[in-house]
A and B are shown apart, each in its own frame.
Chain A
Amino acid sequence: MSAGQTQQPIRCLVAKVGLDGHDRGAHVIARAFRDAGFEVVYSGLHRSPDEVVQAAVQEDVDVLGISILSGAHNTLVPKILEGLDEYDALDDTLVLLGGIVPDKDQDELEEQGVSAIFGPGASMEDTIEFVRENAPDR
């Protein structure tokens, strides 16, 4: 019954970027986030980094979840992070990465501004819990 909670759901953008056409994972996440009470904007497939930035800024999301399975993360993710920074949005957006990201690339991406990377086998509960705990307080 607490009005405060129902009025301020966490807003997320679930984004697919680049030439990667597999969005089952993104759908599952979007659905799970919805069931967790989040508001989820889904970008659709094949978005360019610019589009993802545009969506994240206009939708003023707390959380940006990028799903990428194509292996192009080292090219595409930094572009998104730079774009967010251009709009002064990087600091108060929680950027998550999901999909196939080799261990050796993870540190570098996290240094650039990705808060967490969820690979295969990551539990949905953990992911949701992580978002709840780390979503920026505005």
Chain B
Amino acid sequence: MNDVLDRLLDGDHRALARTITNIENRAPGYRDLVSGLYDHAGTAEVIGITGSPGAGKSTLVDKMAETYRNRGETVGVIAIDPSSPFTGGAVLGDRIRMASNVGDMDVFFRSMSARGSLGGVSIATADAVKALDAFGKDRIIVETVGAGQNEIDIVKTADTVCVLVQPGSGDDVQMLKAGILEIADVFVVNKADLDGADRTVQELREMLDLRGNAGSGRNDQHTGHDHHTGPETTGNGATASEPADGAALKQAEADPDDASDDGGSDAVWTPPIIEAVATHGEGVDAFLDAIDDHHAHLDATGEAAAKARERYAEEIRTLLREDTAALLTAEIDARGGIGDLVDGVAAGETDPYGIADDVLDPVAACLRERREDG
């Protein structure tokens, strides 16, 4: 396995591909491999792209990759598609749109299936990003359908989260209300040449304005907090909006430069709305500029470091959740399998809570003993 790592660091494409496979498969030894990656990762800029199916994500990613390549930067792309809940199979079609980077191995494009495991895909994605990072990619783009919590978890791990909206479907904006709005750092209204694009831009702007008012409590707590984590934002906004507004105003008066700078160094980031026609490459430069602005903002405010910390925390949590689940699955198997336990419930002898307690109690007792022993 170390051999693969060495080859990856040497720039061997196949070793990189195999590393990602091992990560996806949780192949024996993959943990050591990922640990090895950590020493070499941390330089790449990670961009998350999400939006409803057909919004133009893959097409935009293709154009982004092309533009970055023209600027002399190397690009890694991870595109995640859903898998069938019945067979586990998947058709991964995002590659079809990657037409502008034919034969350019410095665009490393990898399709991943969600493989139906809760939380699993987000950690596999994070690890795959590490692999691309260690390989030396300058920009890493993670693309996923923004349909559920899983996808939001994936894309949230990016430095800059971009949400694609297409005009003419109120549903999109409806969907945005339910969470994606809060994680977006940059909005792209794609297919801006279609009727209704203006309206979509307008709707987004209104929603952002609303959010701005409701969430202005964030102004004075930009240290250490990701400014768009949901519950805090709304919670504080409602209770603490008055003093916070005052503080923000004072800050603006005291530091006019900061307030007038619409680029990177504002304390609070307002997601820009970029209009684009990805198929023609229109708006792509403006979009990439907005991403750069956001990155500069992260660096200037210290949010980058806070984000990284949050990301590590989330990785540790997810990993522990997964590992514990595996441990408990093994324990269930050792007790004769889930079927036997279900029989007990079906026969009315016990209930799921009782069983869960039965299985967990020895584990909890064991941990308690260990802690007491020091």
Cβ of B105 under 8 Å from chain A: yes
Cβ of B70 under 8 Å from chain A: no
* A34-B90 contact given A6-B115, A88-B14, A89-B14, CB 8 Å threshold: yes
* A57-B111 contact given A34-B87, A34-B90, A37-B87, CB 8 Å threshold: no
Binds B, one of A48-56, A64-72, A115-123: A48-56
Assess whether B113 is in contact with A7, with CB atoms less than 8 Å apart: no
Assess whether B95 is in contact with A39, with CB atoms less than 8 Å apart: no
In the complex the two chains form, what is the Cα distance from A41 to B116 in whole Å? 17
Interface SS of chain A: mixed
Residues of chain A within 8 A (CB-CB) of B326 are: 3
* A34-B89 contact given A57-B17, A60-B17, A60-B21, CB 8 Å threshold: yes
Assess whether A51 is in contact with B25, with CB atoms less than 8 Å apart: no
Cβ of A107 under 8 Å from chain B: no
Q: How far is the CB of B369 from chain A (nearest CB, A)?
A: 29
In the complex the two chains form, what is the Cα distance from A68 to B96 in whole Å? 17
Cβ of B2 under 8 Å from chain A: no
Q: How far is the CB of A9 from chain B (nearest CB, A)?
A: 6
Closest A residue by C-beta to B101:
A54
Residues of chain B within 8 A (CB-CB) of A55 are: 95, 109
Closest A residue by C-beta to B77:
A58
Residues of chain B within 8 A (CB-CB) of A7 are: 25-26, 115, 117
Closest B residue by C-beta to A40:
B91
Assess whether A48 is in contact with B110, with CB atoms less than 8 Å apart: no
* A6-B113 contact given A37-B89, A60-B21, CB 8 Å threshold: no
* A87-B95 contact given A34-B89, A35-B87, CB 8 Å threshold: no
For A31, give its contact among B20, B91, B92, B338 (CB under 8 Å): B91
Assess whether B89 is in contact with A60, with CB atoms less than 8 Å apart: no
| Interface core residue of A36, A42, A58 (most chain B CB under 10 Å) | A58
Q: How far is the CB of A35 from chain B (nearest CB, A)?
A: 6
Residues of chain A within 8 A (CB-CB) of B108 are: 58
In the complex the two chains form, what is the Cα distance from A71 to B336 in whole Å? 57
| Interface residue total, chain A, C-beta cutoff 8 A | 34
Q: How far is the CB of A61 from chain B (nearest CB, A)?
A: 9
Cβ of B280 under 8 Å from chain A: no
Q: How far is the CB of A39 from chain B (nearest CB, A)?
A: 5
* A59-B17 contact given A7-B25, A34-B90, A38-B89, CB 8 Å threshold: yes
Interface SS of chain B: mixed
Assess whether B87 is in contact with A43, with CB atoms less than 8 Å apart: no
| Interface core residue of A6, A11, A60, A88 (most chain B CB under 10 Å) | A60
* A41-B92 contact given A58-B13, A58-B17, CB 8 Å threshold: yes
In the complex the two chains form, what is the Cα distance from A36 to B116 in whole Å? 16
Closest A residue by C-beta to B109:
A58
Residues of chain B within 8 A (CB-CB) of A35 are: 84, 87, 89
In the complex the two chains form, what is the Cα distance from A43 to B96 in whole Å? 5
In the complex the two chains form, what is the Cα distance from A95 to B329 in whole Å? 37
Closest A residue by C-beta to B108:
A58
Assess whether B96 is in contact with A57, with CB atoms less than 8 Å apart: no
* A54-B17 contact given A41-B95, A42-B93, CB 8 Å threshold: no
Assess whether B92 is in contact with A39, with CB atoms less than 8 Å apart: yes
In the complex the two chains form, what is the Cα distance from A41 to B105 in whole Å? 18
* A42-B91 contact given A3-B329, A9-B113, CB 8 Å threshold: yes
Which B residues form the contact surface with A (CB < 8 A)?
13-14, 17-18, 20-21, 25-26, 83-84, 87-93, 95-97, 99, 102-103, 105, 108-111, 113, 115-117, 326, 329, 337-338
Given A58-B17, A58-B105, A89-B14, 8 more contacts at CB 8 Å?
Answer: A7-B117, A36-B87, A41-B93, A42-B93, A44-B95, A54-B102, A57-B13, A60-B21
* 22 residue pairs A–B, Cβ–Cβ below 8 Å: A6-B116, A6-B117, A7-B26, A9-B90, A9-B115, A35-B87, A36-B87, A37-B87, A38-B89, A39-B92, A40-B89, A41-B93, A42-B91, A42-B92, A44-B93, A44-B96, A51-B102, A55-B95, A59-B95, A60-B18, A87-B13, A88-B14
Which A residues form the contact surface with B (CB < 8 A)?
1, 3, 6-9, 11, 30-31, 33-44, 48, 50-51, 54-55, 57-60, 87-89, 138
